[in-house]
Amino acid sequence: MHSNDIRCNVGGTRGVGAKCPVKAGSTVTVEMHAQPNDRKCSSEAIGGAHYGPVNVYLSKVSDATKADGSAPWYKIFADSWSSKGSVGDSDNWGTNDLNACCGKMDVKIPDDTPSGDYLLRAEVIALHTAGQSGGAQFYMSCYQLSVTGGSGSVPSGVSLPGAFKASDPGIQVNIHAKMSTYVNPGPAVVSGGTTKTAGSTCSGGCAKTCAAGSGPVGTAIAAPAPSGGSSSGGGSACAQAAYQQCGGQGYTGCTTCALSPRLKYESRSARAIA
C-alpha cells in the first residue's frame, strides 16, 4: 500500500485513448474479478472467503487518457460491513454483495460532480488474513470517465499512496472473531455519494443482470467477454470499439463503452498490493 500500484494496480499508471462518457447524477456499473478471464456468474468474483469492503473513488484530472493516478482521490461509494450477530466472517460484507451480483456493483456519480475528465477507482480490501500487519489484500481497477452535465466544486481528496496505513483499524483486523463495529479504511464518503448497507445485494439496480448494451446511456461495464461472448450478466452482447461513440444526446446505439485496458489490471493480481 506504499507503492504507486495502490492507485490502479500493477501497471495501472499507463492510460489509453478511450474514455467512457457519463452524465453527472447517472449510475455506472463497475465490474471486478480476481481471476483473469473468468467472468462467469457461477464463479465468485472475489472468492476464497476474501471478505471485505468495496469502495469507489473519483479523481479529477485534466486528461483521463494520460492521468497516472497522482491527483487527489475522494470516495463516492462504500459497501463495507453490517453485523449478523455472529463471527465477523459470517457477517455481511461488500464482497458478498459483489459476488451475488456477478462481480458488478452499481455506483452513482454524484449529482454535483463538475464536468470534465476523471479516473474512477474501484477497490476491494480482502481481510481474511488481516489479523496480522500487512495481511490485508487490495484489489483495485481504474476506469477512464468523461463526465458531462455537472457543476459544483471538486471535494478535497487523499493521496495514493498515503491514505492507508497497515495499522489502520479497518486494515489490521481479525474478522474471524465476533465484531461489534468495523471502520471502513480511507476517507468518509463525500456529500452526495452513496453508502450502501452491506447485505442488500443487487436491490434497486441493474448490477446482477446488467449486460452489454442493456443499461442506460453512459453505463460503464467492463470490456466484453473474450472471443466475442456475452458479458457475465447474460443477454446479447454489444460494445463500441475504442474511440467510437457509446453515449450522448440523441444517441440510440450500443451504450457499452470499450473501456480502458487499465481494467485488466484489477484481475491481474491475486496477491496483496502493499
Domains annotated for the chain, with CATH where assigned, are 1-205+261-274 (2.70.50.70)
Give per-residue pLDDT as tens, 194-209.
Answer: 999 999 877 655 666 6
| C-alpha grid cell, residue 250 | 440523441
- Cell triple for 79: 459497501
Bond before 155 cis per omega within 30 degrees = no
pLDDT of residue 93: 97
**Rounded-to-integer distance, Cα 77 and Cα 70, Å:** 20
Calculate mean pLDDT across residues 178-201: 95
Mean pLDDT of the chain: 79
Backbone angles phi, psi at 267, to 5 degrees: -105, 0
Q: How many CA atoms lie within 13 A of 24 on its CB side?
A: 18
The answer on pLDDT for 221 being more than 60 is no
Residue 15: how many CB atoms within 10 A of its CB? Answer: 22
Report helix, strand or coil for 8.
Answer: helix
Q: What is the mean pLDDT of residues 132-143?
A: 92
With a pLDDT cut of 90, the percent of the chain lying above it is 54
CA distance 201 to 50: 17
| 55-97 confidence digits (pLDDT tens) | 999 999 999 999 999 999 999 999 999 999 889 899 999 999 9
